[in-house]
Amino acid sequence: MLILMEQTATLEQIQAVMAVLEGAGIRAYVQESPVSTSILAPHASQALKADRIEPMGGVARVVPITSPFKLASADGAPGRTVVEVRGVAVGGRELAVMAGPCGVESREQLFTVARYVAESGVKLLRAGAFKPRTSPYAFQGMGTEALSLLEAVRREFDLGIVTEATEVETFDEVERTADLIQLGARNMQNFALLKRAGRSEKPVLLKRGPAATLEEWLFAAEYVLSEGNRNVILCERGIRTWSQHARNTLDVSVIPAVRQLTHLPVIADPSHATGRRDLVIPCARAAVAAGADGLIVETHCSPDQALSDGPQALLPSDLVQMLDQVQKIREVLTQGGPVF
Ligand code: PEP
Ligand code: MN
């Protein structure tokens, strides 16, 4: 249930409601917005009737949350969530862009890419230290050494670091370095990893599984949220279909669909969605036009030599062109205020 408090509700009245909920064994969260305070109590109606809470001092109304995604649902939220990643607002008016190589390959490669990423105005650098690969013989990432390089590159170029945690065993290490912890598509239903990310203080970028329905994706987000971490960004990165012209199929319509159901920010990854450099910019434009709050794209200084995902990596000049185009689209969409 969602308990809406009167605007004049005192701290004591809020605490009294919390005490009743806690007494009934219900985990509840106080949500403050500029205009009101509410208390979100997922599954409370199983243990408590609304008429136990409604007459209490300071309570305006008790609203049942019918959505199965109690914490991810737009129903119980005071507004859209903005996730802050090292000073970058994801889910606000401005488009949030993350760009960088698929993986950290060497100091020289990382610093070369980071330099032009920073010069292009992008504030968040993506690069995997631990890489989940389809083949066990493919490049698996430089691991711990890559994390040190990512820390060095953050100091040098003042960039926030987006990097993937692939398993619970190495989560702590990744968590120390990352400003935004990516959970990859293949791990969307790795429940142990989701729960560990839910206990992190760092924001989480949750990619949609290649065959996941919208509901499964939101339940995965719910795993993270229900452990206490409320800073979750969703990422559509293409799903498996029968199309053979591209690596995956960018599910453009899921962007507005998921934004209707959840208050969480949603970004798109046109690089993994297409696997083809020539399709990345058109699909980036489509995702932004559909209401994505941001983009994550791969770029490389010499894609022909890339150890992973070279064919989909944007060249430095492509990155500049893409940013110009998507920012213009975003401006058109936000002229009349926030995107629906
Ligand atoms: C990546 O970002 O390089 C990656 C492996 O992404 P995904 O999990 O979407 O395949
Ligand atoms: Mn990649």
pLDDT tens digits, residue range 227-246? 999 999 999 999 999 999 99
Predicted confidence band at 98 (pLDDT cuts at 50, 70, 90)?
very high
Structure tokens, 99 = 């760009």
pLDDT of residue 34: 77
Structure tokens, 150 = 């990512």
Angle among Cα 267, 273, 277 to the nearest 5 degrees reads 110
CA 131 remoteness from chain centre: 18
pLDDT of residue 199: 98
- Closest C-alpha among 50, 78, 122, 27 to residue 318: 122
pLDDT of residue 299: 98
pLDDT of residue 339: 66
pLDDT tens digits, residue range 12-21? 999 999 999 9
- Closest C-alpha among 108, 96, 149 to residue 127: 149
SS3 253: coil
Ligand nearest to the CA of 186: 1
Helices 316-334 & 107-119 angle (0-180, nearest 10): 40
Contact present, 295 and 268 (Cβ < 8 Å): yes
pLDDT tens digits, residue range 42-86? 889 888 999 999 999 999 999 988 889 989 999 888 899 999 999
Q: Is 43 left (phi over 0), alpha (psi -120 to 50) or beta?
A: left
Residue of 161, 272, 297 with the most ligand 1 atoms within 8 Å of its CB, for mutation: 272
pLDDT of residue 88: 98
Share of the chain above pLDDT 90, in %: 90
pLDDT of residue 185: 98
pLDDT tens digits, residue range 106-152? 999 999 999 999 999 999 999 999 999 999 999 999 999 999 999 99
Q: What is the pTM of this model?
A: 0.94
Predicted confidence band at 28 (pLDDT cuts at 50, 70, 90)?
very high
pLDDT of residue 244: 94
Q: Quick count: other Cβ atoms within 10 Å of Cβ 101?
A: 27
pLDDT exceeds 70 at position 297: yes
SS3 275: coil
Average pLDDT over residues 160-178: 98
Residues lying with their CB under 5 A of ligand 2, a single-atom ion: 102, 309
pLDDT exceeds 60 at position 340: no
Contact present, 132 and 167 (Cβ < 8 Å): no
pLDDT of residue 165: 98
Q: Which residues contact 335 (CB under 8 A, 6 or more apart)?
A: none
Average pLDDT, the chain: 96
As beta bridge partners, residue 163 has: 181
pLDDT of residue 53: 96
CA–CA dist 275, 246 (Å, integer) = 6
Ligand nearest to the CA of 248: 1
pLDDT exceeds 80 at position 337: no
How far, in Å, is the centroid of ligand 2 from the Cα of 22? 44
Instruction: Name the DSSP class of 184.
Output: -
**Ligand 1 neighbours (beta carbon < 6 A):** 102, 128, 132, 184-186, 207, 237, 269, 272
pLDDT tens digits, residue range 238-291? 999 999 999 999 999 999 999 999 999 999 999 999 999 999 999 999 999 999
Q: Report H helices in 140-253.
A: 144-157, 171-177, 191-198, 214-226
Residue of 174, 188, 207 with the most ligand 1 atoms within 8 Å of its CB, for mutation: 207
H or E element at residue 320:
helix 316-334
Predicted confidence band at 225 (pLDDT cuts at 50, 70, 90)?
very high
Structure tokens, 100 = 């960088």
Predicted confidence band at 90 (pLDDT cuts at 50, 70, 90)?
very high
